[in-house]
A and B are shown apart, each in its own frame.
Chain A
C-alpha cells in the first residue's frame, strides 16, 4: 500500500510538475518555446566547465580505491567498531559513501546480496545509502562550477553530517528493527 503510493509519487512527480509548469506559463502568456531555449543555452557551458574538476577528483578517488587504501583503513578501524558492538561489515560502505556514488552503490548491492536485504545489516546499508549523498562529488561539482578555490569549512560540515547520518542510521535501525 505505502509502497505503491511511494512508487506512484516517484513516477508522477516529474511529468505532473512539467505539466503544471507549462500550463501555468501558457496561462500567463509566456512564450514557452523561446523562453526554454533562452534558459537552456547555459546548459552546455556549465557542464563543460566541470570537466577539469571532475577529472581531478574522480581520478584521486579511483586511485584510492584501486590502491587498497580503503581496505587498509577498514582493517584498522574494524576492531574499534566491534568493541562498540557495531557490525564491521558496514564500514566499507560508510567510508565509500562520501567519496563515490557508484562505488557506494556497488557495496550496498554487494551487502544486500550476501547478507540479504531483510537482514539487520541489509537494512542498515539501505538506510545509510539513502540518507546521505556523495559529499566529495557535490563539493567538487558545485564549487567547481563557479570557480571557488577556498571552500572554507564546507568539507568539514559535509563530513560531520555524513558521520551523523552513519551514527543515526545505527541507532534508528537498532530501535526499529533491532
Chain B
C-alpha cells in the first residue's frame, strides 16, 4: 500500500511537471525537500532527547499513575484490549495530554515512545496493529484546547478577535476525532493484521 502511494505521488509529480513545463523546478524541489527532511529529523533530536528524559522521571516517580487514573475512562474506551498499566498506555495518555494542553513539542516524543511500546505488543512485526491504527486516528485529528499557531497567525494579520475560532476549532476537532475512531473500528475488520 505505502509502496503504491509513494510511487503514485512521485509519478504524478514527475508527469505533471513535464506536462506543465515545470520540469526545471523538479530537481530543485527534490533536493530542497530532502534537505528539509533531514533538518526536521535533526531538530527532532533535541526535543526527543529532552522529553524522553522527562518521561522516564514521570514513570519512575509514579506521577504517570495519576495521569493514567484521571484518563483511564478514555484509554479503556479507545484501547480495551491493552493492559491498562502497560508503558504503552502511559505513553499514549502522555501524548494525548500533551496535545490537549498545546505542548506540541512533547506530543511527538511521547507518541513515538507509544509506538515503540505498541510494537512490543504487536504479534506481526511488519504490520500495524489495531491499537496502532486507533492511536494514529487519535493523533491525526490533533485534539487541542489551544490552537496556538493559528491564534498567533490571526493576531499577526490584524484580527479583531484572534481567539474567536477556538470554539469552532474544538468542535470541528471533536467531529474529526469521533469520525476517525469510528472509521477505524469499522475498517479494521476489512484489513486484518498480518494478512497481506
Contact = CB atoms under 8 A, between A and B. Distances in A.
B78 interface: no
B63 A20 contact: yes
A58 B34 contact: yes
Interface string B18-51: 0010100110111011101110111011111111
Contact of A21 (B54, B179, B191, B193): B54
B13 interface: yes
Nearest to A130: B147
Given A150-B127, A157-B180, A18 B54 contact: yes
Contact of A24 (B14, B61, B168, B191): B61
B140 A135 contact: yes
Contacts, number: 368
Given A3-B162, A63-B10, A65-B29, A17 B103 contact: yes
Contacts of A147: 119, 125-126
Interface residues of A, number: 102
Point out which of B22, B103, B151, B165 has the most chain A C-beta atoms below 10 A from its C-beta: B165
Contacts of A152: 1, 127-128, 133, 188, 191, 193, 196
A67 B5 contact: no
A40 B48 CA distance: 7
Interface in A131-145: 131-133, 135, 138-139, 141-143, 145
A153 B190 contact: yes
A145 B53 CA distance: 18
10 contacts: A30-B57, A43-B45, A46-B112, A63-B10, A66-B29, A117-B157, A117-B158, A133-B141, A153-B133, A168-B172
Interface of B: 1-2, 5-6, 9-10, 12-17, 20, 22, 25-26, 28-30, 32-34, 36-38, 40-42, 44-63, 101-103, 105-106, 108-109, 111-112, 115-116, 118-119, 124-128, 132-133, 135-137, 139-142, 144-151, 153-154, 157-173, 175-177, 179-180, 183-184, 187-188, 190-191, 193, 196
Interface of A: 2-3, 6-7, 9-10, 13-14, 17-18, 20-22, 24-25, 27-28, 30, 32, 35-44, 46-48, 50-51, 54-69, 72, 98, 105, 108-109, 112-113, 116-118, 122-123, 126-133, 135, 138-139, 141-143, 145-158, 160-162, 164-165, 167-169, 172-173, 176-177
